[in-house]
Amino acid sequence: MEYIFAFLVGGIICVFGQMAMDVWKFSPIHVMSMFVVLGALLGSIGVYDWLVSFAGAGAIIPISGFGYALMDGVEANMQESGLLGIGPGMFAQTGISLSAAILFSFLISLIVKPKG
Amino acid sequence: MKLRDHYQEAVKLFQPKPSYFFNSLKAFFVGGFICAVGQALQNLYIEIFTLHISVAQQMVLGTFILLATLLTGMGVYDKIGQFAGAGSLIPITGFANSLASAAIEHRSEGIVLGVASNMFKVAGAVIVYSVVIAYILGVIHYLFSTLF
Amino acid sequence: MKLVGKQTWIFENEVYLQAAATAVGPTETEGPLGEQFDVTYQDLYCGEDTWELAERRLMKEAVQICLTKAKLEINDIDFFLAGDLLNQNVTANYTARDFPVPFLCMFGACSTSMETLAVAAALVDGNFARRVLTATSSHNATAERQFRYPTEFGGQKPKSATFTVTGAGAALVSREKSLFRITAATIGKVVDFGMYNPLDMGAAMAPAAASTIRQHFQDLKTSPQDYDFIVTGDLSGVGSPILRELLREEGYDLADKHRDCGLLIYRTDQEVFAGGSGCACCAVVTYGHLLKEMEKGNLRKIFVVATGALLSPTMMRQNESIPAIAHGVVLEAVKGEK
């Protein structure tokens, strides 16, 4: 069932992240950056496509899915525009997440104060 | 081994080790749960709004970003994060929380020099490396496809 | 000569801690010492708009209550010595703005309480002042947003992390006879044993505490048995056993004489990881709790050693290790007073 795979794959990716923090002592910033880069790397060699095909949200929701979406957009755009397609391509799919996060963060900062 | 003479090595005995197993277990369950819910939402969005799968995926991400922002604003996300560790950091919710928490925190310095200037305090590295790796891999991809 | 040995001052001219006051935030109010603080706040904002203003309010109130207890006005004070954790010591400087008295700002990170107390005692003993007011403060949110992450960030803290105490402590030093006499102080050296993890301050500061305590014993030719307690500021759960081991290797067995303010201020079921830290930790526990214990007659002579980690986020990112320092003051209960 797709839900089981989503759960398992998503969970396992998070476990790798947890080990990166606990065992290899990477900071949260390091871990997030590393996973985006990993997603982009695996996406460019086709491995992440395979992961997405059976795990669905389990591969898309982790931040590595953001890296994958970067390359997906880049590759699609490069087919039309070559090297010039890299710039606009990377934000073709990720633009939605990025702009939403920025907008929502801005709006919430106007409404609430930190609670500590 | 005398503590005084070999401090960096000898002090490790006194430093508490993380609960490797339980931390990973919590991360697994919370992260897995978030992804499973995401899968359900994806199917729901396709069903209700008859969307293309990639659009539905974007909507799911947007939903989680909104949820994480709200939980951050309510002062709850930091507690979830302490419990779940990577389970709440790795999903896109972690990225959203890092933006929202920085924005909320620096509201006291105004909306330009506070909120806007500091929003990417934590997640800025993610954006920078996203762009850098996309260029590197894009160029490699280009070279491969033109040479072969 | 008031300098004894290498690093210790003896105050021969009867210097007293005339009055002290404490103000704390919600987590400390809920702790085991909650009843013993002068002012308690149920909210981390302490009725102010920002975290920084909250910390400033805590320090100001501690100072005002200290003056009230001593039945004095600010004009009766000769010098004000204060410090805190924030960049440019803004809490201390901006609080001093409200009190028209000559001001010496001091930075010792979490060792500021004993650093200011020691220097105040020296000024009074040396006849450079009649009355010196000292104060220090820290705030969980201001420390968090400056040194680590935004307060609502969901990063996971390890077991070795400490919890910055929200509070402020003020003390008045003079020749006015009171129950608490300041008899000696040992000024510490900066000690760095190569610890790099800012989420494990205990291990970084323990060597500094050991260095100061050992030097104190050597300078005065005393041993742990001569004191009721050797109290450290904020070594907390990780640093305390390390300290005991380091001193044991030098031939000093702290046995059951060691206490740590970071472990005293919170209960184990409060979510505070390894224990309390921050300038206010040593200040409020000493001025709020330990002095009361001395009043009740439970303690007669204590050596309070405040420990500070002298790091900055920039230095951490440049892969520098964490230097630390510890300053200690001996407080003795005087019989037959009040």
Q: What is the dihedral of CA A11, A16, A20, A24, to 10 degrees?
A: 140
User: Chain B residues with CB inside 8 Å of A16's CB?
Assistant: 86
Which residue of A7, A19, A61 is in closest CB contact with B91?
Answer: A61
C4 pairs with which residues across the strands?
C8
pLDDT of residue B4: 87
| CA-CA-CA-CA torsion sign (B15, B20, B26, B27) | positive
Q: Does C2 have pLDDT greater than 60? A: yes
C-alpha–C-alpha distance, residues C5 and B133, integer Å: 60
What mean pLDDT value characterizes chain C? Answer: 96
State the fold for domain C3-174.
Peroxisomal Thiolase; Chain A, domain 1 (3.40.47)
3-state secondary structure of A46: coil
Residue C280 CA to residue C162 CA, distance in Å, equals 13
Q: What is the pLDDT of residue B53?
A: 86
For residues C314-331, average pLDDT? 97
Rounded mean pLDDT for each run of 10 residues along chain B, 148 residues in total: 88 94 97 97 92 89 97 97 97 97 96 96 95 96 88
Domain with A78 in it: 2-111
ipTM for this model:
0.94
Residue C335: predicted pLDDT: 74
pLDDT interval class at C294 (50, 70, 90): very high
Q: Which of A18, A74, A89 sits opposite B86 (nearest CB)?
A: A18
C151 with A21: Cβ contact below 8 A: no
The residue range of the domain holding B41 is: 22-147
Q: Is residue B13 part of a domain?
A: no
Say how far apart CA C211 and CA C190 lie, in whole Å.
9
**Closest Cα partner for C274 from C322, C327, C190, C203?**
C203
Domain membership of residue A116 (yes or no) is no
Percent of chain C at pLDDT exceeding 90: 97
pLDDT at C4 exceeding the cut of 80: yes
What pLDDT sits at residue B1?
67
Residue B129 resides in a domain: yes
Strands C131-138 and C167-174, how do they pair? antiparallel
Cross-chain Cβ contact A90/B95 below 8 Å: no
Looking at residue C13, its pLDDT comes to 83
Structural domains in chain A (count)? 1
Instruction: Examine the pLDDT at C218 and tell me if it is beyond 90.
Output: yes
Q: A114 CB near a chain C CB, below 8 Å?
A: yes
Residue B75 in any domain: the answer is: yes
Residue B90 forms contact with A (CB below 8 Å):
yes
User: Can you give the residue ranges of every domain in chain C?
Assistant: 3-174, 182-333
Hey, of C87, C153, C242, which one would you mutate to test binding to chain B, going by the most B CBs within 10 A of its CB?
C153
How is domain C182-333 classified at the architecture level of CATH? 3-Layer(aba) Sandwich (3.40)
Total structural domains in chain B? 1
What tens digit of pLDDT does each residue of C222-235 get?
A: 999 999 999 999 99
Query: If you count residue pairs, one on A and one on B, with CB atoms under 8 Å apart, how many are there?
Result: 259
Question: Crossing angle of helices A86-111/B53-73, nearest 10°?
Answer: 30
In degrees, to the nearest 5, what angle opens at C-alpha C257 toward C-alphas C255 and C262?
Answer: 115
Burial class of residue B10 (count of CB atoms within 10 Å of its CB; 0-12, 13-18, 19+): middle
**Residues of chain C positioned with their CB less than 8 A from the CB of B5:** none
Is B6 a member of any domain? Answer: no
Q: Is residue A60 assigned to a domain?
A: yes
- Whether A35 is in a domain gets the answer yes
Would you tell me how many other CB atoms lie within 10 Å of the CB of residue A15? 23
Nearest CA in chain A to C25: A116
pLDDT in tens, C153-205: 999 999 999 999 999 999 999 999 999 999 999 999 999 999 999 999 999 99
